[in-house]
Amino acid sequence: MSVRPILIAPDPRLKLVSEPVAEVDAQIRTLITDMIETMYDAEGIGLAAVQVGVAKRILVLDVDQKEGTRAPRVFINPVITWSSEDSEVMEEGCLSVPDIWDEVERPKAIKAQYLDEHGVPQLLEAEGMLAVCLQHEMDHLNGVLFVDHLSKLKRSMALKKLAKAKKLKKAS
Protein backbone atom coordinates (compact mmCIF):
# COMPACT_ATOMS: atom_id res chain seq x y z
CA MET A 1 0.00 0.00 0.00
CA SER A 2 1.23 3.43 -0.84
CA VAL A 3 -0.01 6.97 -1.25
CA ARG A 4 0.26 8.03 -4.88
CA PRO A 5 0.69 11.60 -6.11
CA ILE A 6 -2.55 13.24 -7.25
CA LEU A 7 -2.47 15.01 -10.62
CA ILE A 8 -3.38 18.70 -10.42
CA ALA A 9 -5.20 20.60 -13.20
CA PRO A 10 -4.33 21.59 -15.85
CA ASP A 11 -2.30 18.34 -16.16
CA PRO A 12 -3.31 17.01 -19.61
CA ARG A 13 -3.57 13.44 -18.29
CA LEU A 14 -6.72 14.50 -16.41
CA LYS A 15 -8.40 14.96 -19.81
CA LEU A 16 -7.79 11.35 -20.88
CA VAL A 17 -10.78 9.07 -21.37
CA SER A 18 -10.15 6.03 -19.17
CA GLU A 19 -10.08 2.50 -20.56
CA PRO A 20 -12.33 -0.29 -19.21
CA VAL A 21 -10.79 -2.82 -16.86
CA ALA A 22 -10.65 -6.20 -18.62
CA GLU A 23 -9.90 -8.29 -15.52
CA VAL A 24 -9.84 -7.58 -11.80
CA ASP A 25 -6.44 -9.05 -10.96
CA ALA A 26 -3.77 -8.51 -8.29
CA GLN A 27 -2.42 -5.41 -10.06
CA ILE A 28 -5.90 -3.81 -10.13
CA ARG A 29 -6.49 -4.70 -6.46
CA THR A 30 -3.14 -3.09 -5.52
CA LEU A 31 -4.14 0.04 -7.45
CA ILE A 32 -7.49 0.10 -5.60
CA THR A 33 -5.78 -0.23 -2.21
CA ASP A 34 -3.38 2.60 -3.12
CA MET A 35 -6.28 4.76 -4.33
CA ILE A 36 -8.17 4.29 -1.05
CA GLU A 37 -5.07 5.14 0.96
CA THR A 38 -4.41 8.17 -1.26
CA MET A 39 -8.02 9.38 -0.93
CA TYR A 40 -7.88 9.18 2.88
CA ASP A 41 -4.44 10.78 3.03
CA ALA A 42 -5.76 13.73 0.98
CA GLU A 43 -8.93 13.87 3.11
CA GLY A 44 -11.13 13.38 0.05
CA ILE A 45 -14.38 11.49 -0.37
CA GLY A 46 -13.72 10.22 -3.88
CA LEU A 47 -10.87 9.50 -6.27
CA ALA A 48 -10.69 8.23 -9.84
CA ALA A 49 -7.72 6.19 -11.08
CA VAL A 50 -6.92 8.81 -13.72
CA GLN A 51 -6.28 11.30 -10.90
CA VAL A 52 -3.28 9.17 -9.88
CA GLY A 53 -2.12 8.82 -13.49
CA VAL A 54 -3.79 5.50 -14.36
CA ALA A 55 -6.36 5.86 -17.14
CA LYS A 56 -8.52 2.90 -16.07
CA ARG A 57 -12.25 3.01 -15.32
CA ILE A 58 -11.88 2.65 -11.55
CA LEU A 59 -13.01 4.94 -8.77
CA VAL A 60 -13.25 4.80 -5.00
CA LEU A 61 -15.68 6.68 -2.75
CA ASP A 62 -16.31 7.09 0.94
CA VAL A 63 -18.95 9.72 1.59
CA ASP A 64 -19.19 8.61 5.25
CA GLN A 65 -15.56 9.26 6.17
CA LYS A 66 -16.24 12.93 6.90
CA GLU A 67 -18.29 11.70 9.90
CA GLY A 68 -15.31 9.73 11.18
CA THR A 69 -16.24 6.27 9.92
CA ARG A 70 -14.56 4.55 7.01
CA ALA A 71 -16.59 2.53 4.54
CA PRO A 72 -14.80 2.74 1.18
CA ARG A 73 -16.67 1.66 -1.94
CA VAL A 74 -15.04 0.53 -5.16
CA PHE A 75 -16.55 1.02 -8.61
CA ILE A 76 -14.95 -0.67 -11.62
CA ASN A 77 -16.29 0.10 -15.11
CA PRO A 78 -19.26 2.06 -13.69
CA VAL A 79 -22.13 3.02 -15.98
CA ILE A 80 -25.10 5.22 -15.11
CA THR A 81 -28.17 3.37 -16.37
CA TRP A 82 -30.76 5.94 -15.28
CA SER A 83 -30.81 9.48 -13.94
CA SER A 84 -33.72 11.48 -12.61
CA GLU A 85 -35.14 14.45 -14.43
CA ASP A 86 -35.07 16.30 -11.11
CA SER A 87 -31.75 17.92 -10.40
CA GLU A 88 -30.11 19.54 -7.42
CA VAL A 89 -27.27 21.95 -6.93
CA MET A 90 -24.46 21.04 -4.55
CA GLU A 91 -21.12 22.61 -3.81
CA GLU A 92 -18.29 20.50 -5.18
CA GLY A 93 -14.55 20.47 -4.83
CA CYS A 94 -11.88 18.19 -6.24
CA LEU A 95 -8.52 16.82 -5.15
CA SER A 96 -7.20 17.63 -8.64
CA VAL A 97 -8.47 21.22 -8.40
CA PRO A 98 -7.41 22.06 -4.83
CA ASP A 99 -8.98 24.89 -2.85
CA ILE A 100 -11.61 25.58 -5.53
CA TRP A 101 -15.27 25.03 -4.62
CA ASP A 102 -18.37 25.90 -6.61
CA GLU A 103 -21.95 24.84 -7.15
CA VAL A 104 -22.73 22.23 -9.81
CA GLU A 105 -26.16 21.05 -10.93
CA ARG A 106 -26.56 17.30 -11.42
CA PRO A 107 -29.40 14.76 -11.51
CA LYS A 108 -30.78 14.26 -8.01
CA ALA A 109 -30.90 10.46 -8.22
CA ILE A 110 -29.16 7.85 -10.36
CA LYS A 111 -28.94 4.12 -10.93
CA ALA A 112 -25.59 2.59 -11.80
CA GLN A 113 -24.09 -0.77 -12.58
CA TYR A 114 -20.45 -1.63 -11.95
CA LEU A 115 -18.06 -4.33 -10.80
CA ASP A 116 -16.86 -4.40 -7.20
CA GLU A 117 -13.25 -5.06 -6.14
CA HIS A 118 -13.83 -8.81 -6.59
CA GLY A 119 -15.15 -8.41 -10.14
CA VAL A 120 -18.74 -9.14 -9.07
CA PRO A 121 -21.45 -7.16 -10.91
CA GLN A 122 -23.37 -4.73 -8.69
CA LEU A 123 -26.34 -2.39 -9.01
CA LEU A 124 -26.74 0.82 -7.04
CA GLU A 125 -29.52 3.34 -6.57
CA ALA A 126 -28.15 6.58 -5.16
CA GLU A 127 -29.26 10.07 -4.28
CA GLY A 128 -27.84 12.99 -2.36
CA MET A 129 -24.11 13.11 -1.69
CA LEU A 130 -23.48 9.55 -2.92
CA ALA A 131 -25.14 10.30 -6.28
CA VAL A 132 -23.24 13.58 -6.66
CA CYS A 133 -19.91 12.03 -5.73
CA LEU A 134 -20.39 9.07 -8.08
CA GLN A 135 -21.29 11.38 -10.97
CA HIS A 136 -18.33 13.65 -10.17
CA GLU A 137 -15.86 10.75 -10.15
CA MET A 138 -17.40 9.19 -13.27
CA ASP A 139 -16.84 12.51 -15.03
CA HIS A 140 -13.11 12.02 -14.35
CA LEU A 141 -13.26 8.71 -16.23
CA ASN A 142 -14.39 10.69 -19.28
CA GLY A 143 -11.79 13.45 -18.92
CA VAL A 144 -14.21 15.96 -17.38
CA LEU A 145 -13.45 18.07 -14.30
CA PHE A 146 -16.16 19.63 -12.15
CA VAL A 147 -15.01 23.09 -13.28
CA ASP A 148 -16.00 22.06 -16.82
CA HIS A 149 -19.63 22.26 -15.60
CA LEU A 150 -19.20 25.91 -14.61
CA SER A 151 -19.81 28.95 -16.79
CA LYS A 152 -16.87 29.98 -18.95
CA LEU A 153 -16.21 32.97 -16.66
CA LYS A 154 -16.32 30.94 -13.41
CA ARG A 155 -14.12 28.20 -14.94
CA SER A 156 -11.59 30.77 -16.09
CA MET A 157 -11.52 32.43 -12.65
CA ALA A 158 -11.10 29.05 -10.91
CA LEU A 159 -8.23 27.98 -13.17
CA LYS A 160 -6.48 31.37 -12.75
CA LYS A 161 -6.78 31.02 -8.97
CA LEU A 162 -5.31 27.52 -9.21
CA ALA A 163 -2.41 28.71 -11.41
CA LYS A 164 -1.67 31.56 -8.98
CA ALA A 165 -1.64 29.14 -6.03
CA LYS A 166 0.77 26.86 -7.95
CA LYS A 167 3.14 29.78 -8.60
CA LEU A 168 3.07 30.81 -4.94
CA LYS A 169 3.75 27.23 -3.86
CA LYS A 170 6.74 26.96 -6.23
CA ALA A 171 8.13 30.30 -5.01
CA SER A 172 8.09 29.22 -1.36
Closest listed residue to residue 42, CA positions, set 77, 94, 90: 94
**Is there a contact between 40 and 50 (Cβ–Cβ < 8 Å)?**
no
The SS3 of residue 47 is: strand
Contacts of residue 17, defined as CB under 8 A and 6 or more positions apart, other chains included, come to 55, 141, 142, 143
Active site residue 92: no
CA distance 76 to 58: 5
The backbone torsions φ and ψ at residue 133, rounded to the nearest 5 degrees and listed phi first, read: -65, -40
**Is there a contact between 34 and 79 (Cβ–Cβ < 8 Å)?**
no
Q: Of 37, 85, 103, 137, which one is the catalytic site residue?
A: 137
**Residues annotated as catalytic (active site), given as ranges:** 137
